[in-house]
Structure 1
Amino acid sequence: MSHFAVFGYPIQHSLSPRMHHLFAAQCGLTPFRYTKELIEPHHFTNAVHSFFQQGGKGLNITVPFKQEAFLLAQHHLTERAKTAGAVNTLWIENGFLHGDNTDGIGLVNDIKRQGISLKNQRILILGAGGATRGVILPLLQEECALLHIANRTASKAQDIAKTFQAYTPIPISASGLTDIPNQWDIIINASASSLDNTALPISSSLFTSTYFTYDMVYTHSGNTPFLDQAQQYGVKQCSDGLGMLVYQGAEAFFIWNHYYPDVDSVIKTLRHDLHSIQST
C-alpha cells in the first residue's frame, strides 16, 4: 500500500488526509493511505528519514518545518523551492530526497479559478514570512504590473523585496503596515492575523481601487477578519485560502502519482465538510 503523510506541529485540524483520499478515489488509486503525523520539533529530520526508510512514498510539510525540509532536500530542489527557501512537498527519486514548494502555484491557480487575471495587476501582499516567500515567484511569473510587500517589521519586507528583485524587472517595493502606498487592484493577506482572529492595522484607503482580496487562511464559514475588513471597505470579491490548500495538494499529488485530480469537486466537498463541522 502506498503511504503518504503530512508532518506538522500542530496537525490535528489538517484537511490533507481527507483531501488526498478524495484525489486517490478519482484516479482509482487503491489501496491508498495518507495520514497526519504530529512531529515534535526536534524530531523532524529523524521522522522524515524513518518515513522513507519504511517505504513511504511522499510527504507534505506544514508549519513549522518547511525551512527544515528545505535544508534536508537542498541538493535536489525545484526552482520555485529554491527561491522560496522553503519546501512543502518531499519524495524520493533515484535514491535522493527531492523537495518542491507548491504553495505559490496553489495560490495562483485558485485566484485564476475565480476568474481573476494577475497580468498587469498591482498586487499588495501583507506579511513577510515564509508564506510570502513561497508565493512571490509564481505571482511574478503571471506578469503582474508591480508587487508591494508590507509587514509590521518593515525591514523583513524590504529583505524579501531585495531578494526577489534580482529575479525580475517587475518593480518590487516594501514598507511597514502604516505607510503602504495606495491604489492596489489585488490585496493578498499572507500574514498570520486571521489565524489569531485579529484585523490588521491598515487604512481603509488601501482598498479604494481594490476589486479582489484573498486570505491564505481558510475557515469554516469562508470569512476571516481580513476579508470582513475588505468587505466593509467596499471590496466586492473576496476569497479565503481553501482553494489554495486544494491546489497545492493537487500539485503534490501529481508529483507523486502522475495524475492531476479534479480540484473543483474537492473544494466543494471540503467546503461542505467545514460547514457541517461548524453547524455541529
Structure 2
Amino acid sequence: MDQYRVFGNPIKHSRSPYIHQAFAEETQQQLTYQSQLVALDAFAATIKDFAQAGGKGGNVTVPFKEQALALCDQVSKRASLAGAVNTLSFRDGQILGDNTDGIGLVKDLLANKVTLTNRRILLIGAGGAAKGVVLPLLEQNPAQLVIANRTLSKAQQICQLVSDNRLSCCTFEHCNNYEFDVIINATSASLDGHLPAIPEQVIARAEVCYDMVYAKQLTPFLHWAKESGANKVIDGLGMLVAQAAESFNIWRGVMPSTDEVLQRLRADLT
C-alpha cells in the first residue's frame, strides 16, 4: 500500500493523518498516512530514507519547510517564491517540491464567499507564510496587494522577487495611508496571544479579516478585528484542510471534497 507521511518537530498535534485518511476513504484511494517526529538534525536523512523505502510523498511542517526546499531536485514556482516546501513527491529517484499553502488560503476565502478580484488586500507579515500566498492571491486579480511588515526590507524583497505592479509594501504604521477590503494576518502573533501593530482604523474599514491560524475561540487577531468593526472574520482551519486537499491531488490525481472533513474538525474544536 502506498505510504505518505507528515514530517515535523513537534508533530503530535498534527491533524494531517486524520485529514488525509478521510480523503482516502472518500475517494477510495488505497494508502496509509502517518505522522513522524524528526530530530532537528536529521531531516534530510529521514526524507531520503523514506523515499528509498518506497514512500510516495509527504507533507512538511515546522521547522523543516526551508530545509525541504533545499532538498528538492525540482520545485514549483510558488514554492520557490515562498522559500519553503510543504508537499514532497518522490518520482523516478527525484524529490519534487511544492507549496500548497497559498492555494489553500485562496480556496478557503472563496468558499467563504470572499471576493478577491478587484479588491484591495492587505497581507500582514513577510515571513514564509506570507511568501507562500502572494502568487495565488495575485492570480485572483486583486486591484491591489500590499504587504505590511515591521521590517520594511523583508517586504521589499518579496516585491522585488515578484515584480507585479499590483504589489507594494509598507511598514505597519503606514498602513493607515490605505483602505483595504480584505486583511490577511500571515504572522504567528495569535499563537502567542499578541496582535500585529496595525492601526485599528485600518481594521475597522475592512470587510473581511482572516487569520491563518485557528483556535477553539476567535484568535486574538480576529477578536480584535471583530471588536474594531470588521464585517466578517475567518480563521485558518479551512486553509489547513484546503491545502491538504491540494497535496492529496498532487499525489493521487484526484481532488477530494473538503466540506465534511472541515465540519468534523470544527466540531472537534468546540
TM-score range, shorter chain: over 0.9
Q: Which digits, 9 at most, give the CA deviation of each residue in 1:6-45, with x for residues without a partner?
A: 1111111111011111101101223x32111111221100
Cα separation, 2, equivalents of 1:27 and 1:253: 10
Cα separation, 2, equivalents of 1:8 and 1:175: 33
Task: Could you tell me which runs of 5 or more consecutive residues in structure 2 were left unpaired when the two chains were aligned.
Answer: none
**Aligned structure 1 segments of 4 or more residues deviating by more than 4 angstroms:** none
Tell me the residue number matched to 1:278.
none
Of 253, 256, 265, the residue aligned with 1:261 is: 256
Matching of residue 245 in structure 1 with residue 240 in structure 2: yes
SS in 2 for 1:41: coil
Tell me if structure 1 keeps the 8 A contact 2:122–2:145. yes
Tell me if structure 2 keeps the 8 A contact 1:183–1:208. no
Cα separation, 2, equivalents of 1:216 and 1:93: 31
**AA in 1 matched with 2:226:** Q
Q: Which digits, 9 at most, give the CA deviation of each residue in 1:185-235, with x for residues without a partner?
A: 0000000101111122221110243100110001123x1000001101111
TM-score by length of 2: 0.96
SS in 2 for 1:81: helix
**Once superposed, what is the RMSD of the aligned Cα atoms?**
1.2
Tell me if structure 2 keeps the 8 A contact 1:182–1:205. no
Task: Could you tell me which runs of 5 or more consecutive residues in structure 1 were left unpaired when the two chains were aligned.
Answer: 276-280
Tell me the residue number matched to 1:145.
143
Tell me the residue number matched to 1:55.
54
Q: Which digits, 9 at most, give the CA deviation of each residue in 1:155-188, with x for residues without a partner?
A: 2122222222x2x232x22222222233110000
Cα separation, 2, equivalents of 1:16 and 1:128: 25
Tell me if structure 2 keeps the 8 A contact 1:189–1:214. yes
Cα separation, 1, equivalents of 2:6 and 2:25: 18
Quote the offset at 1:271 in angstroms: 0.8
Tell me the residue number matched to 1:174.
169
TM-score by length of 1: 0.93
Tell me if structure 1 keeps the 8 A contact 2:205–2:229. no
Of 94, 111, 114, the residue aligned with 2:109 is: 111
How many pairs does the alignment contain?
269
* Percent of aligned pairs sharing the same letter: 45
